Structure 1
Amino acid sequence: MSEKKGGFEQVTLLVTHYNRSKSLERLLESFASYGFTFGEILISDDGSKQEHINYIENLHKKFEFKLLKAVKNSGLGNNINKGQDAVTKPYTLYVQEDFVPLPGFQKVLEDGLGILLDNPEADYVRFYSYFAHPKVKYYRDGFSEMIFDPWSADTNKFHLYSDHPHIRRSTFLDKFGRYNETKHSDKIEFDMMISFLRNKGKGYLYNDFKSVFDQINSSAEPSTVKRDFWRNSNNPVVSLMRYLYRQYIFNYSYFLKKY
Protein backbone atom coordinates (compact mmCIF):
# COMPACT_ATOMS: atom_id res chain seq x y z
CA MET A 1 0.00 0.00 0.00
CA SER A 2 2.46 2.65 1.17
CA GLU A 3 6.10 1.99 0.29
CA LYS A 4 7.40 3.70 3.41
CA LYS A 5 5.98 5.25 6.55
CA GLY A 6 3.94 8.26 5.49
CA GLY A 7 4.51 7.49 1.81
CA PHE A 8 1.67 7.23 -0.70
CA GLU A 9 3.39 6.76 -4.05
CA GLN A 10 0.23 5.55 -5.77
CA VAL A 11 -1.65 8.70 -4.76
CA THR A 12 -1.82 12.18 -6.29
CA LEU A 13 -2.67 14.95 -3.84
CA LEU A 14 -4.91 17.27 -5.87
CA VAL A 15 -5.64 20.67 -4.30
CA THR A 16 -7.96 23.22 -5.91
CA HIS A 17 -7.04 26.82 -5.15
CA TYR A 18 -8.40 30.32 -5.69
CA ASN A 19 -6.98 33.47 -4.06
CA ARG A 20 -6.03 31.81 -0.74
CA SER A 21 -2.31 31.15 -1.02
CA LYS A 22 -1.67 31.36 2.73
CA SER A 23 -4.36 28.72 3.31
CA LEU A 24 -2.71 26.56 0.67
CA GLU A 25 0.64 26.97 2.42
CA ARG A 26 -0.96 25.93 5.73
CA LEU A 27 -2.36 22.79 4.09
CA LEU A 28 0.97 21.79 2.54
CA GLU A 29 2.83 22.51 5.76
CA SER A 30 0.40 20.30 7.70
CA PHE A 31 0.94 17.34 5.38
CA ALA A 32 4.72 17.86 5.50
CA SER A 33 4.78 18.12 9.31
CA TYR A 34 3.11 14.71 9.61
CA GLY A 35 5.61 13.13 7.21
CA PHE A 36 3.29 12.59 4.27
CA THR A 37 4.80 12.02 0.83
CA PHE A 38 2.76 11.54 -2.32
CA GLY A 39 3.46 10.27 -5.81
CA GLU A 40 2.79 13.83 -6.94
CA ILE A 41 1.17 17.02 -5.70
CA LEU A 42 -0.91 19.08 -8.11
CA ILE A 43 -2.18 22.58 -7.31
CA SER A 44 -4.97 23.49 -9.72
CA ASP A 45 -5.46 27.26 -9.67
CA ASP A 46 -8.61 28.96 -10.93
CA GLY A 47 -7.16 32.23 -12.19
CA SER A 48 -6.04 33.76 -8.89
CA LYS A 49 -4.68 37.28 -8.58
CA GLN A 50 -1.03 37.62 -9.52
CA GLU A 51 0.10 38.21 -5.94
CA HIS A 52 -1.27 34.79 -4.99
CA ILE A 53 0.37 33.14 -8.00
CA ASN A 54 3.68 34.74 -7.03
CA TYR A 55 3.29 33.51 -3.46
CA ILE A 56 2.53 29.97 -4.61
CA GLU A 57 5.50 29.91 -6.96
CA ASN A 58 7.69 30.99 -4.06
CA LEU A 59 6.47 27.92 -2.12
CA HIS A 60 8.60 25.79 -4.45
CA LYS A 61 11.46 26.64 -2.09
CA LYS A 62 9.76 24.49 0.57
CA PHE A 63 7.53 22.02 -1.29
CA GLU A 64 7.65 19.97 -4.47
CA PHE A 65 4.47 20.34 -6.53
CA LYS A 66 3.17 21.21 -9.98
CA LEU A 67 1.12 24.39 -10.37
CA LEU A 68 -1.62 24.22 -12.99
CA LYS A 69 -2.45 27.79 -13.96
CA ALA A 70 -5.58 29.14 -15.66
CA VAL A 71 -5.89 32.02 -18.11
CA LYS A 72 -9.01 33.25 -16.32
CA ASN A 73 -11.35 32.31 -13.49
CA SER A 74 -13.62 29.62 -14.93
CA GLY A 75 -15.25 28.17 -11.83
CA LEU A 76 -14.72 25.17 -9.60
CA GLY A 77 -15.99 22.66 -12.17
CA ASN A 78 -13.34 23.67 -14.68
CA ASN A 79 -10.69 23.77 -11.98
CA ILE A 80 -11.39 20.21 -10.78
CA ASN A 81 -11.55 18.88 -14.35
CA LYS A 82 -8.25 20.58 -15.20
CA GLY A 83 -6.60 19.13 -12.14
CA GLN A 84 -7.97 15.62 -12.59
CA ASP A 85 -6.87 15.59 -16.24
CA ALA A 86 -3.27 16.15 -15.10
CA VAL A 87 -3.24 13.31 -12.54
CA THR A 88 -0.84 10.48 -13.39
CA LYS A 89 -1.30 8.22 -10.35
CA PRO A 90 -4.08 5.61 -9.99
CA TYR A 91 -5.62 7.25 -6.90
CA THR A 92 -6.46 10.89 -6.20
CA LEU A 93 -6.69 12.48 -2.75
CA TYR A 94 -8.82 15.57 -3.39
CA VAL A 95 -8.67 18.43 -0.88
CA GLN A 96 -9.73 22.06 -1.22
CA GLU A 97 -7.24 24.60 0.09
CA ASP A 98 -9.23 25.63 3.17
CA PHE A 99 -8.97 22.19 4.81
CA VAL A 100 -6.24 21.01 7.17
CA PRO A 101 -5.43 17.38 8.04
CA LEU A 102 -5.31 16.56 11.76
CA PRO A 103 -3.02 14.20 13.69
CA GLY A 104 -3.90 10.58 12.99
CA PHE A 105 -4.95 11.10 9.39
CA GLN A 106 -2.03 9.01 8.08
CA LYS A 107 -3.54 5.75 9.40
CA VAL A 108 -7.02 6.76 8.26
CA LEU A 109 -5.73 7.52 4.75
CA GLU A 110 -3.93 4.16 4.65
CA ASP A 111 -7.17 2.41 5.62
CA GLY A 112 -9.21 4.42 3.10
CA LEU A 113 -6.76 3.61 0.31
CA GLY A 114 -6.89 -0.02 1.43
CA ILE A 115 -10.64 -0.07 0.79
CA LEU A 116 -10.10 1.03 -2.82
CA LEU A 117 -7.26 -1.46 -3.27
CA ASP A 118 -9.19 -4.41 -1.83
CA ASN A 119 -12.68 -3.65 -3.11
CA PRO A 120 -12.99 -3.15 -6.90
CA GLU A 121 -16.60 -1.98 -6.44
CA ALA A 122 -15.60 0.95 -4.21
CA ASP A 123 -15.51 4.26 -6.10
CA TYR A 124 -14.40 6.70 -3.41
CA VAL A 125 -13.79 7.05 0.30
CA ARG A 126 -14.70 10.22 2.15
CA PHE A 127 -12.93 11.60 5.21
CA TYR A 128 -15.04 14.64 6.14
CA SER A 129 -18.69 15.64 6.26
CA TYR A 130 -20.87 18.32 7.77
CA PHE A 131 -23.30 15.66 9.01
CA ALA A 132 -23.62 11.90 9.47
CA HIS A 133 -25.16 10.06 6.55
CA PRO A 134 -28.71 8.96 7.49
CA LYS A 135 -28.21 5.29 6.56
CA VAL A 136 -24.89 3.46 6.69
CA LYS A 137 -23.58 -0.09 6.90
CA TYR A 138 -20.37 -0.61 8.85
CA TYR A 139 -17.59 -1.89 6.60
CA ARG A 140 -14.19 -1.94 8.35
CA ASP A 141 -11.44 0.14 9.97
CA GLY A 142 -13.88 2.79 11.19
CA PHE A 143 -15.49 3.28 7.76
CA SER A 144 -19.11 2.68 6.78
CA GLU A 145 -20.71 2.29 3.39
CA MET A 146 -23.21 5.08 2.67
CA ILE A 147 -26.58 3.61 1.68
CA PHE A 148 -29.19 5.34 -0.45
CA ASP A 149 -32.71 4.73 0.90
CA PRO A 150 -35.22 6.00 -1.70
CA TRP A 151 -38.07 5.81 0.82
CA SER A 152 -36.44 8.02 3.43
CA ALA A 153 -37.85 11.54 3.94
CA ASP A 154 -34.38 12.79 4.90
CA THR A 155 -32.92 14.78 1.98
CA ASN A 156 -29.43 14.03 3.31
CA LYS A 157 -29.94 10.54 1.86
CA PHE A 158 -28.87 11.92 -1.53
CA HIS A 159 -25.43 13.06 -0.36
CA LEU A 160 -23.48 9.93 -1.20
CA TYR A 161 -21.09 12.18 -3.11
CA SER A 162 -19.48 15.34 -1.71
CA ASP A 163 -16.56 17.62 -2.63
CA HIS A 164 -15.25 17.30 0.93
CA PRO A 165 -11.81 15.67 1.32
CA HIS A 166 -11.85 12.19 -0.17
CA ILE A 167 -9.74 9.64 -2.02
CA ARG A 168 -11.03 8.21 -5.27
CA ARG A 169 -9.94 6.22 -8.25
CA SER A 170 -8.37 8.54 -10.79
CA THR A 171 -10.79 7.08 -13.38
CA PHE A 172 -13.67 8.61 -11.38
CA LEU A 173 -14.69 11.01 -14.17
CA ASP A 174 -14.80 8.17 -16.71
CA LYS A 175 -17.62 6.54 -14.74
CA PHE A 176 -19.52 9.55 -13.42
CA GLY A 177 -18.82 12.24 -16.03
CA ARG A 178 -16.95 15.51 -15.89
CA TYR A 179 -17.88 18.35 -13.56
CA ASN A 180 -20.24 20.91 -15.07
CA GLU A 181 -18.22 24.02 -15.96
CA THR A 182 -21.15 26.41 -16.41
CA LYS A 183 -22.75 26.34 -12.95
CA HIS A 184 -22.12 27.56 -9.39
CA SER A 185 -20.03 25.26 -7.19
CA ASP A 186 -23.08 24.08 -5.21
CA LYS A 187 -24.87 23.11 -8.42
CA ILE A 188 -21.91 21.19 -9.85
CA GLU A 189 -21.69 19.23 -6.59
CA PHE A 190 -25.43 18.52 -6.87
CA ASP A 191 -25.06 17.32 -10.48
CA MET A 192 -22.21 14.99 -9.50
CA MET A 193 -24.26 13.75 -6.55
CA ILE A 194 -27.12 12.77 -8.87
CA SER A 195 -24.74 11.18 -11.38
CA PHE A 196 -23.13 9.19 -8.57
CA LEU A 197 -26.54 7.82 -7.58
CA ARG A 198 -27.72 7.12 -11.12
CA ASN A 199 -24.50 5.31 -11.97
CA LYS A 200 -24.77 3.24 -8.78
CA GLY A 201 -21.67 4.66 -7.15
CA LYS A 202 -20.37 3.03 -4.00
CA GLY A 203 -18.96 5.42 -1.39
CA TYR A 204 -17.61 5.06 2.14
CA LEU A 205 -17.45 7.61 4.95
CA TYR A 206 -15.10 7.65 7.94
CA ASN A 207 -17.35 7.43 11.01
CA ASP A 208 -15.36 9.87 13.12
CA PHE A 209 -15.17 12.38 10.26
CA LYS A 210 -14.62 15.44 12.45
CA SER A 211 -11.39 13.99 13.85
CA VAL A 212 -9.17 13.88 10.74
CA PHE A 213 -9.81 17.18 8.94
CA ASP A 214 -10.65 20.72 9.97
CA GLN A 215 -12.03 23.43 7.69
CA ILE A 216 -10.54 26.84 8.44
CA ASN A 217 -11.66 30.12 6.91
CA SER A 218 -9.67 32.96 8.46
CA SER A 219 -10.62 36.64 8.35
CA ALA A 220 -7.50 37.24 6.25
CA GLU A 221 -8.55 34.64 3.68
CA PRO A 222 -12.31 34.04 4.04
CA SER A 223 -14.27 31.59 1.95
CA THR A 224 -14.53 32.57 -1.70
CA VAL A 225 -17.91 30.82 -2.03
CA LYS A 226 -20.83 33.20 -1.65
CA ARG A 227 -23.90 31.75 0.09
CA ASP A 228 -27.28 33.41 -0.24
CA PHE A 229 -29.96 34.12 2.37
CA TRP A 230 -31.94 31.06 1.31
CA ARG A 231 -29.09 28.68 2.21
CA ASN A 232 -27.96 30.44 5.39
CA SER A 233 -31.17 31.49 7.12
CA ASN A 234 -32.27 29.68 10.29
CA ASN A 235 -35.73 31.20 10.13
CA PRO A 236 -38.23 28.33 10.76
CA VAL A 237 -40.42 29.30 7.78
CA VAL A 238 -37.43 29.54 5.46
CA SER A 239 -36.08 26.24 6.83
CA LEU A 240 -39.40 24.52 6.08
CA MET A 241 -39.55 26.00 2.59
CA ARG A 242 -35.94 24.95 2.00
CA TYR A 243 -36.73 21.39 3.10
CA LEU A 244 -39.81 21.14 0.87
CA TYR A 245 -37.91 22.59 -2.08
CA ARG A 246 -35.05 20.13 -1.61
CA GLN A 247 -37.47 17.23 -1.32
CA TYR A 248 -38.97 18.25 -4.65
CA ILE A 249 -35.81 19.11 -6.58
CA PHE A 250 -33.76 16.18 -5.26
CA ASN A 251 -36.50 13.63 -5.90
CA TYR A 252 -37.37 15.16 -9.27
CA SER A 253 -33.76 15.13 -10.41
CA TYR A 254 -33.19 11.55 -9.32
CA PHE A 255 -36.49 9.79 -9.97
CA LEU A 256 -38.11 11.75 -12.80
CA LYS A 257 -35.69 13.92 -14.77
CA LYS A 258 -33.67 12.25 -17.49
CA TYR A 259 -30.10 12.91 -16.51
Structure 2
Amino acid sequence: MELPVCEFHKVSLLITHYNRSRSLERLLQSFENIQCSFGEIIVSDDGSKPEHLAYIEKLQNQFNFTLVTTPVNKGLGNNINKGQDAVTLPYTLYVQEDFEPSTEFPQCFKNSLDIIQERPDLDIIRFYAYFDYPYARSYRNGFTEMVFHSSPLYFNHLKFYVYSDHPHLRRSNFLQKFGRYPEGVKGDETEYRMAVSFIKKKGRGLLYKDYTQIFYQKNSSAEPSTMNRSEWRSSNNAFILFVRAIYLKFKLLKWTFDLAFMK
Protein backbone atom coordinates (compact mmCIF):
# COMPACT_ATOMS: atom_id res chain seq x y z
CA MET A 1 0.00 0.00 0.00
CA GLU A 2 1.45 3.32 -1.08
CA LEU A 3 1.75 5.98 1.59
CA PRO A 4 0.25 9.44 0.99
CA VAL A 5 2.64 12.28 0.22
CA CYS A 6 3.16 14.55 3.27
CA GLU A 7 4.66 17.98 2.65
CA PHE A 8 5.50 20.11 5.67
CA HIS A 9 6.36 23.47 4.11
CA LYS A 10 6.60 25.42 7.38
CA VAL A 11 9.00 22.95 9.00
CA SER A 12 12.80 22.81 8.87
CA LEU A 13 14.30 19.37 9.40
CA LEU A 14 17.43 19.93 11.51
CA ILE A 15 19.83 16.98 11.73
CA THR A 16 22.98 16.99 13.84
CA HIS A 17 25.77 14.76 12.56
CA TYR A 18 29.20 13.52 13.58
CA ASN A 19 31.19 10.79 11.77
CA ARG A 20 28.12 8.75 10.83
CA SER A 21 27.48 9.59 7.19
CA ARG A 22 25.86 6.23 6.36
CA SER A 23 23.46 6.72 9.26
CA LEU A 24 22.67 10.18 7.92
CA GLU A 25 21.98 8.69 4.51
CA ARG A 26 19.64 6.10 6.04
CA LEU A 27 17.72 8.79 7.92
CA LEU A 28 17.28 10.99 4.85
CA GLN A 29 16.29 8.03 2.70
CA SER A 30 13.78 6.84 5.29
CA PHE A 31 11.93 10.18 5.11
CA GLU A 32 11.78 9.80 1.33
CA ASN A 33 10.54 6.22 1.70
CA ILE A 34 7.53 7.38 3.72
CA GLN A 35 7.05 10.31 1.31
CA CYS A 36 7.69 13.07 3.84
CA SER A 37 9.23 16.34 2.70
CA PHE A 38 10.08 19.54 4.54
CA GLY A 39 10.44 23.20 3.64
CA GLU A 40 14.19 22.88 4.13
CA ILE A 41 16.73 20.42 5.52
CA ILE A 42 19.71 21.58 7.57
CA VAL A 43 22.55 19.16 8.35
CA SER A 44 24.83 20.51 11.07
CA ASP A 45 28.16 18.66 11.15
CA ASP A 46 30.47 18.72 14.17
CA GLY A 47 33.87 18.49 12.50
CA SER A 48 33.60 14.98 11.02
CA LYS A 49 36.51 13.17 9.39
CA PRO A 50 37.25 14.06 5.74
CA GLU A 51 35.88 10.77 4.41
CA HIS A 52 32.51 11.42 6.05
CA LEU A 53 32.39 15.02 4.82
CA ALA A 54 33.16 13.85 1.30
CA TYR A 55 30.30 11.36 1.46
CA ILE A 56 27.93 14.00 2.87
CA GLU A 57 28.75 16.31 -0.03
CA LYS A 58 27.66 13.52 -2.40
CA LEU A 59 24.43 13.16 -0.44
CA GLN A 60 23.69 16.85 -0.93
CA ASN A 61 23.10 16.26 -4.64
CA GLN A 62 20.56 13.56 -3.87
CA PHE A 63 18.69 15.05 -0.91
CA ASN A 64 19.13 18.81 -1.43
CA PHE A 65 20.07 19.99 2.06
CA THR A 66 22.10 22.84 3.52
CA LEU A 67 25.33 21.69 5.17
CA VAL A 68 26.68 23.70 8.10
CA THR A 69 30.19 22.69 9.14
CA THR A 70 32.95 23.54 11.60
CA PRO A 71 36.69 22.85 11.13
CA VAL A 72 37.04 21.06 14.48
CA ASN A 73 34.76 19.15 16.83
CA LYS A 74 33.10 21.60 19.22
CA GLY A 75 30.54 19.37 20.92
CA LEU A 76 26.79 18.91 20.94
CA GLY A 77 25.90 22.41 22.15
CA ASN A 78 27.75 24.18 19.35
CA ASN A 79 26.42 21.73 16.78
CA ILE A 80 22.78 22.39 17.69
CA ASN A 81 23.31 26.14 18.03
CA LYS A 82 24.84 26.65 14.59
CA GLY A 83 22.29 24.33 13.02
CA GLN A 84 19.37 26.20 14.58
CA ASP A 85 20.93 29.51 13.50
CA ALA A 86 20.67 28.31 9.88
CA VAL A 87 16.92 27.54 10.14
CA THR A 88 14.63 29.99 8.31
CA LEU A 89 11.16 28.48 8.86
CA PRO A 90 8.83 28.86 11.89
CA TYR A 91 9.00 25.24 13.09
CA THR A 92 11.92 22.86 13.55
CA LEU A 93 11.93 19.07 13.64
CA TYR A 94 15.15 18.18 15.42
CA VAL A 95 16.58 14.69 14.87
CA GLN A 96 20.03 13.24 15.53
CA GLU A 97 21.45 11.19 12.67
CA ASP A 98 21.07 7.79 14.35
CA PHE A 99 17.27 7.79 14.22
CA GLU A 100 14.81 6.59 11.60
CA PRO A 101 11.10 7.48 11.32
CA SER A 102 8.48 4.74 11.19
CA THR A 103 5.50 4.57 8.85
CA GLU A 104 3.42 6.01 11.71
CA PHE A 105 5.45 9.22 11.64
CA PRO A 106 3.54 11.20 8.94
CA GLN A 107 0.14 11.16 10.66
CA CYS A 108 1.63 11.63 14.12
CA PHE A 109 3.70 14.57 12.92
CA LYS A 110 0.73 16.14 11.14
CA ASN A 111 -1.24 15.93 14.41
CA SER A 112 1.64 17.47 16.37
CA LEU A 113 1.96 20.34 13.89
CA ASP A 114 -1.78 21.04 14.13
CA ILE A 115 -1.53 21.08 17.93
CA ILE A 116 1.50 23.38 18.20
CA GLN A 117 -0.10 25.83 15.77
CA GLU A 118 -3.31 25.83 17.80
CA ARG A 119 -1.56 26.22 21.15
CA PRO A 120 0.88 29.13 21.40
CA ASP A 121 1.72 28.09 24.98
CA LEU A 122 3.41 24.88 23.79
CA ASP A 123 7.16 24.97 23.13
CA ILE A 124 8.05 21.37 22.31
CA ILE A 125 6.42 18.10 21.24
CA ARG A 126 8.52 15.00 21.78
CA PHE A 127 8.32 11.78 19.76
CA TYR A 128 10.88 9.52 21.46
CA ALA A 129 12.01 8.69 24.99
CA TYR A 130 13.67 5.98 27.05
CA PHE A 131 11.00 6.15 29.78
CA ASP A 132 7.56 7.52 30.65
CA TYR A 133 7.39 11.06 31.97
CA PRO A 134 6.29 10.56 35.61
CA TYR A 135 3.76 13.39 35.91
CA ALA A 136 1.64 13.68 32.79
CA ARG A 137 -2.01 14.02 31.82
CA SER A 138 -3.68 12.69 28.69
CA TYR A 139 -4.16 15.16 25.89
CA ARG A 140 -5.27 14.02 22.42
CA ASN A 141 -4.11 12.11 19.34
CA GLY A 142 -1.98 9.86 21.55
CA PHE A 143 -0.08 12.70 23.24
CA THR A 144 0.29 13.39 26.95
CA GLU A 145 1.07 16.77 28.48
CA MET A 146 4.10 16.81 30.76
CA VAL A 147 3.52 18.66 34.04
CA PHE A 148 6.56 19.69 36.05
CA HIS A 149 6.21 19.99 39.85
CA SER A 150 9.04 21.81 41.61
CA SER A 151 8.19 20.47 45.08
CA PRO A 152 10.54 17.71 46.36
CA LEU A 153 7.35 15.88 47.38
CA TYR A 154 7.18 14.92 43.73
CA PHE A 155 10.24 12.77 44.23
CA ASN A 156 10.76 11.11 40.85
CA HIS A 157 13.95 12.64 39.44
CA LEU A 158 12.73 11.90 35.90
CA LYS A 159 10.43 14.90 36.24
CA PHE A 160 13.39 17.08 35.17
CA TYR A 161 13.34 15.56 31.68
CA VAL A 162 10.60 17.78 30.28
CA TYR A 163 13.12 18.70 27.60
CA SER A 164 15.15 16.05 25.77
CA ASP A 165 17.54 16.00 22.80
CA HIS A 166 15.64 13.06 21.33
CA PRO A 167 13.52 13.75 18.21
CA HIS A 168 11.08 16.59 18.77
CA LEU A 169 9.15 19.40 17.12
CA ARG A 170 9.74 22.90 18.45
CA ARG A 171 9.27 26.51 17.50
CA SER A 172 12.27 27.89 15.67
CA ASN A 173 12.60 30.77 18.16
CA PHE A 174 13.54 28.17 20.78
CA LEU A 175 17.01 29.66 21.40
CA GLN A 176 15.57 33.14 21.86
CA LYS A 177 13.21 31.93 24.58
CA PHE A 178 15.37 29.40 26.42
CA GLY A 179 18.90 30.53 25.62
CA ARG A 180 21.62 28.94 23.56
CA TYR A 181 22.89 25.46 24.32
CA PRO A 182 25.93 25.45 26.63
CA GLU A 183 29.16 24.87 24.73
CA GLY A 184 32.45 23.35 25.88
CA VAL A 185 30.82 20.72 28.12
CA LYS A 186 29.91 17.05 27.61
CA GLY A 187 26.70 16.12 25.79
CA ASP A 188 24.85 14.96 28.92
CA GLU A 189 25.66 18.23 30.68
CA THR A 190 24.54 20.21 27.64
CA GLU A 191 21.20 18.43 27.64
CA TYR A 192 20.78 18.80 31.41
CA ARG A 193 21.47 22.53 31.44
CA MET A 194 18.98 23.10 28.64
CA ALA A 195 16.43 21.05 30.58
CA VAL A 196 16.93 23.31 33.61
CA SER A 197 16.60 26.43 31.45
CA PHE A 198 13.46 25.01 29.86
CA ILE A 199 11.85 24.48 33.27
CA LYS A 200 13.01 27.82 34.73
CA LYS A 201 11.52 29.70 31.77
CA LYS A 202 8.19 27.89 32.07
CA GLY A 203 8.54 25.70 29.00
CA ARG A 204 5.61 23.46 28.21
CA GLY A 205 5.54 20.30 26.15
CA LEU A 206 3.83 17.12 25.02
CA LEU A 207 5.20 13.60 24.74
CA TYR A 208 3.79 10.94 22.42
CA LYS A 209 2.50 8.13 24.63
CA ASP A 210 3.80 5.32 22.39
CA TYR A 211 7.20 6.96 22.19
CA THR A 212 9.03 3.96 20.75
CA GLN A 213 6.74 3.71 17.71
CA ILE A 214 7.41 6.95 15.82
CA PHE A 215 11.22 6.90 15.64
CA TYR A 216 13.64 4.00 15.94
CA GLN A 217 17.18 4.52 17.19
CA LYS A 218 19.58 2.63 14.91
CA ASN A 219 23.19 2.02 15.99
CA SER A 220 25.04 -0.23 13.58
CA SER A 221 28.33 -1.96 14.37
CA ALA A 222 29.93 0.04 11.55
CA GLU A 223 28.71 3.34 13.00
CA PRO A 224 28.08 2.86 16.75
CA SER A 225 26.77 5.54 19.05
CA THR A 226 29.18 8.37 19.82
CA MET A 227 27.64 8.83 23.28
CA ASN A 228 29.12 6.58 26.00
CA ARG A 229 27.16 5.98 29.19
CA SER A 230 28.25 4.28 32.40
CA GLU A 231 27.43 0.57 32.65
CA TRP A 232 26.40 0.91 36.32
CA ARG A 233 23.21 2.67 35.20
CA SER A 234 21.82 -0.59 33.85
CA SER A 235 23.38 -3.06 36.31
CA ASN A 236 21.11 -5.44 38.28
CA ASN A 237 23.67 -6.07 41.04
CA ALA A 238 21.94 -5.64 44.44
CA PHE A 239 24.67 -3.43 45.89
CA ILE A 240 24.79 -1.29 42.74
CA LEU A 241 21.00 -0.90 42.87
CA PHE A 242 21.22 0.25 46.50
CA VAL A 243 23.97 2.77 45.74
CA ARG A 244 22.09 3.97 42.68
CA ALA A 245 18.93 4.55 44.74
CA ILE A 246 20.87 6.76 47.15
CA TYR A 247 22.54 8.54 44.26
CA LEU A 248 19.18 9.30 42.62
CA LYS A 249 17.87 10.88 45.83
CA PHE A 250 21.00 13.03 45.96
CA LYS A 251 20.49 13.89 42.27
CA LEU A 252 16.90 14.97 42.97
CA LEU A 253 18.07 17.35 45.69
CA LYS A 254 20.94 18.68 43.56
CA TRP A 255 18.71 19.30 40.56
CA THR A 256 16.12 21.00 42.76
CA PHE A 257 18.91 23.24 44.07
CA ASP A 258 20.15 23.90 40.53
CA LEU A 259 16.66 24.87 39.45
CA ALA A 260 16.47 27.44 42.22
CA PHE A 261 19.96 28.92 41.85
CA MET A 262 21.49 28.05 38.46
CA LYS A 263 21.72 31.10 36.17
Q: Do the structures match in fold with TM over 0.5?
A: yes
Distance 2:234 2:141 in 1: 35
Aligned to 2:184: 182
Aligned to 2:253: 251
Structure-2-length-normalised TM-score: 0.93
Match status 1:125 vs 2:147: no
Counterpart residue identity of residue 195, structure 2: M
Distance 1:93 1:188 in 2: 19
Instruction: Say whether the 8 Å CA contact 1:194–1:254 is kept in structure 2.
Output: no
Aligned to 1:152: 154
Structure-1-length-normalised TM-score: 0.94
- Report how far residue 131 of structure 1 moved: 0.8
Deviations 1:12-63 (A, max 9, x none): 0000000000000000000011111111000000000000000011112321
Distance 1:93 1:195 in 2: 20
Secondary structure at the aligned position of 1:140 is classed as coil
TM-aligned CA distance change 1:192 to 1:240, over 3 Å:
farther
RMSD: 1.5
Overall identity of the aligned pairs, in %: 51
Deviations 1:96-144 (A, max 9, x none): 0000000110010011111110001000000001111112111111111
- Report how far residue 174 of structure 1 moved: 1.2
Counterpart residue identity of residue 159, structure 2: K
- Report how far residue 5 of structure 1 moved: 4.0
- Report how far residue 242 of structure 1 moved: 3.0
TM-aligned CA distance change 1:152 to 1:176, over 3 Å:
same
Instruction: Say whether the 8 Å CA contact 1:15–1:97 is kept in structure 2.
Output: yes
Match status 1:193 vs 2:195: yes
Distance 1:246 1:143 in 2: 28
- Report how far residue 169 of structure 1 moved: 0.4
Extract structure 1 runs of 4+ deviating beyond 6 A: none
Stretches of structure 2 that go unaligned for 5 or more consecutive residues are: none
TM-aligned CA distance change 1:241 to 1:176, over 3 Å:
farther
Instruction: Say whether the 8 Å CA contact 1:122–1:202 is kept in structure 2.
Output: yes
Aligned to 2:16: 16
Match status 1:139 vs 2:142: no
Instruction: Say whether the 8 Å CA contact 2:157–2:251 is kept in structure 1.
Output: no
TM-aligned CA distance change 1:93 to 1:46, over 3 Å:
same
- Report how far residue 233 of structure 1 moved: 3.5
- My pick for the range that moved more, 43-52 or 182-191, is 182-191
Distance 2:239 2:208 in 1: 33
Match status 1:223 vs 2:225: yes
Secondary structure at the aligned position of 2:155 is classed as coil
Deviations 1:160-180 (A, max 9, x none): 111010000011111111111
- Report how far residue 232 of structure 1 moved: 4.5
Deviations 1:56-92 (A, max 9, x none): 1111232110111111000011100110111101100
Distance 1:45 1:166 in 2: 19
Secondary structure at the aligned position of 1:62 is classed as helix
TM-aligned CA distance change 1:16 to 1:116, over 3 Å:
same
Distance 1:217 1:223 in 2: 6
Distance 2:171 2:213 in 1: 23
Instruction: Say whether the 8 Å CA contact 1:41–1:65 is kept in structure 2.
Output: yes
Distance 1:131 1:212 in 2: 14
Aligned residues: 256
Secondary structure at the aligned position of 2:51 is classed as helix
Aligned to 1:44: 44
Counterpart residue identity of residue 131, structure 1: F
Instruction: Say whether the 8 Å CA contact 2:155–2:252 is kept in structure 1.
Output: no
Stretches of structure 1 that go unaligned for 5 or more consecutive residues are: none
Counterpart residue identity of residue 118, structure 1: E
